Amino acid sequence: MPLRPNGPKTMPGLRLALPLGVVAVLLVACGSADPSPASMDGAAPSTVRVLTNGVLGNDREPAQACGPEAAPDAGAADPATIVAIGTGALDTVCALGLQGRVVGAAVDGPDPHYLGPWAVEAQRVGGDGQVDRAAVRAAAPELILVAPGPDGAAPQLPADLSDIAPVTVVEPEQDWTTAVREAGDALGRTTAIDALIDDYRTQAREVGEQRAATQTQISLLRFTDDAAELVGPTSLPGRVLAEAGFRRPPGQRFTDSPVRAVDADDLSDAEADFMFLMFAGKNTGLSDTGGRPDSEEYGRTVMGSSAWEEIDVTAHRTWVVDDHVWFNGGGLVAAATILEDVAAVL
Residue 247 binned pLDDT confidence (cut-offs 50, 70, 90): very high
Does residue 263 surpass a pLDDT of 50? yes
Max Cα–Cα distance, the chain, nearest Å: 66
Kindly state the DSSP code that residue 257 receives in the 8-state scheme. Answer: S
94 and 333 Cβ atoms separated by less than 8 Å: yes
What integer is the mean pLDDT of 168-177?
88
**Residue-wise DSSP of 108-127:** SSS--GGG-HHHHHSPB-EE
What integer is the mean pLDDT of 104-112?
91
Does residue 7 surpass a pLDDT of 70? no
Rounded alpha-carbon distances, angstroms, from residue 301 to 49, 272, 277: 15, 21, 15
Q: Report the pLDDT value the prediction gives residue 37, as an integer from 0 to 100.
A: 42
Domains belonging to the chain, first-starting first, are 20-59+212-345 (3.40.50.1980), 64-199 (3.40.50.1980)
Q: Report the pLDDT value the prediction gives residue 291, as an integer from 0 to 100.
A: 60
Does residue 69 surpass a pLDDT of 90? yes
pLDDT in tens, 130-152: 999 999 999 999 999 999 987 78
Q: Report the pLDDT value the prediction gives residue 61, as an integer from 0 to 100.
A: 87
Residue 153 binned pLDDT confidence (cut-offs 50, 70, 90): confident
Higher pLDDT residue, 156 or 272?
272
Q: Report the pLDDT value the prediction gives residue 26, as an integer from 0 to 100.
A: 35
Strand partners, 261: 229
Pairs from 126-135 (Cβ < 8 Å, separation ≥ 24): 126/85, 126/155, 127/155, 129/155, 129/156, 130/155, 130/156, 131/85, 131/106, 131/155, 131/156, 131/157, 131/158, 131/161, 133/158, 133/161, 133/164, 135/104
Higher pLDDT residue, 96 or 57?
96
344 and 17 Cβ atoms separated by less than 8 Å: no
Q: Report the pLDDT value the prediction gives residue 272, as an integer from 0 to 100.
A: 98
pLDDT in tens, 180-197: 999 999 999 999 999 999
Does residue 4 surpass a pLDDT of 60? no
Collapse the DSSP code of 291 into the 3-class scheme (helix H, G, I; strand E, B; otherwise coil) and give the result.
coil
pLDDT in tens, 285-322: 655 555 678 999 999 999 999 999 999 999 889 999 99
Q: How far apart are the first and last CA of the chain?
A: 25
Mean pLDDT of the chain: 86
pLDDT in tens, 71-107: 999 999 999 999 999 999 999 999 999 999 999 999 9
What integer is the mean pLDDT of 240-252?
98
pLDDT in tens, 8-51: 334 443 333 322 233 333 333 343 334 344 445 556 777 777 87
30 and 53 Cβ atoms separated by less than 8 Å: yes
Beta-sheet strand order (sheet of 82-85) = 102-106, 82-85, 143-146, 167-169
State how beta strands 228-231 and 259-262 pair.
Answer: antiparallel
Q: Report the pLDDT value the prediction gives residue 41, as an integer from 0 to 100.
A: 58
